[in-house]
Amino acid sequence: MTTTQQYLQPNYVNSSLPSYYPNSAFDTVDDYRALAPQFAVLSHEDRAFGKIIKSHRYGAGDVIATYDDLTHDVLILIKGRVNLVWRNEIVGRQLVMSMLEPGAVLNQQHLSTTNRGSQFVEAVEDCVVWSIPSSQIEDLITRYPILSWGLLQTYAARLLQVEDHMEAVTCKKLPERVAELLLALDHNEDGMLEGVSHQMLADHLGTYRETVSSILR
């Protein structure tokens, strides 16, 4: 079974979703996370699109793409969560700018690079990512509007996260922000948070690991 076929099984794709073909309508959702099943349906029912995409697997902590990588490819997150991370090369610190979920569409404009540092995409957990050559993306966006909609929705989600982060930094004390982050990262029904280090929390909050450790003692 191919990777694409695996993620087209009934437990992943809602069979009630409408098929999407070039020049036809698709569901214009308000949350990019609802796009992942539509991408799967599209790749399954439109062979031309299915031949263009390449599927990749990554484990937690793997660097999925750098700024330079996204000059060549546009990425579609199909399974798992990723962080957009800024690393300051001068002081060796990094900050999680955004966390994105399946349905996100990423191109080079989502990352930045300067003399002081650069951004990269890092897997939070096991991920499946599709890549599309950047050289073909303009033509594909014309043929498949769902791609441009995914880009716009991903931008919107990132903007909301930045606004929330700015509000939290301005109005909330660090212990409260730590508690909120722990709740946001908890996806287990038993309430057990696994695979999250003090350094990871510090990267999300823009502080030092020692500061987080002292709060959690």
Mean pLDDT of 8-35: 46
Strand partners, 130: 55, 76
- Categorize the per-residue pLDDT at 215 as very low, low, confident or very high, splitting at 50, 70 and 90: confident
Q: Is 156 within 8 Å of 148 (Cβ atoms)? A: no
Higher pLDDT residue, 93 or 64?
Answer: 64
Q: Is 98 within 8 Å of 157 (Cβ atoms)? A: yes
Q: Is 51 within 8 Å of 121 (Cβ atoms)? A: no
- pLDDT of 126 reads 93
Instruction: Write out the H or E segment, with its range, that includes residue 77.
Output: strand 73-79
Mean pLDDT of 58-64: 94
- Categorize the per-residue pLDDT at 138 as very low, low, confident or very high, splitting at 50, 70 and 90: confident
- pLDDT of 22 reads 41
Amino acid letter for position 163: E
pLDDT, tens only, 10-20 = 333 333 333 33
Does 83 have pLDDT greater than 80? yes
Phi-psi region of 213 (alpha: psi -120 to 50; beta: other; left: phi over 0): alpha
Minimum mean pLDDT among 33-37, 84-88, 93-97, 204-208: which range?
A: 204-208
- pLDDT of 151 reads 85
> How far apart, in whole angstroms, are the C-alpha atoms of residue 217 and residue 206?
19
Q: Is 73 within 8 Å of 131 (Cβ atoms)? A: yes
Tokens of 63: 């660097």
Strand partners, 98: 84
Mean pLDDT of 171-195: 72
How far CA 143 is from CA of 24, 172, 217, in Å, comes to: 10, 45, 54
Tokens of 203: 């990267």
DSSP 207: S
Torsion of CA 141, 143, 149, 150, to 10 degrees: -70
Does 78 have pLDDT greater than 80? yes
Q: pTM for the full model?
A: 0.67
Mean pLDDT of 110-128: 78
- Categorize the per-residue pLDDT at 34 as very low, low, confident or very high, splitting at 50, 70 and 90: confident
- Selection from 103-117, 119-133, 141-155 with the highest mean pLDDT: 119-133
Strand partners, 190: none
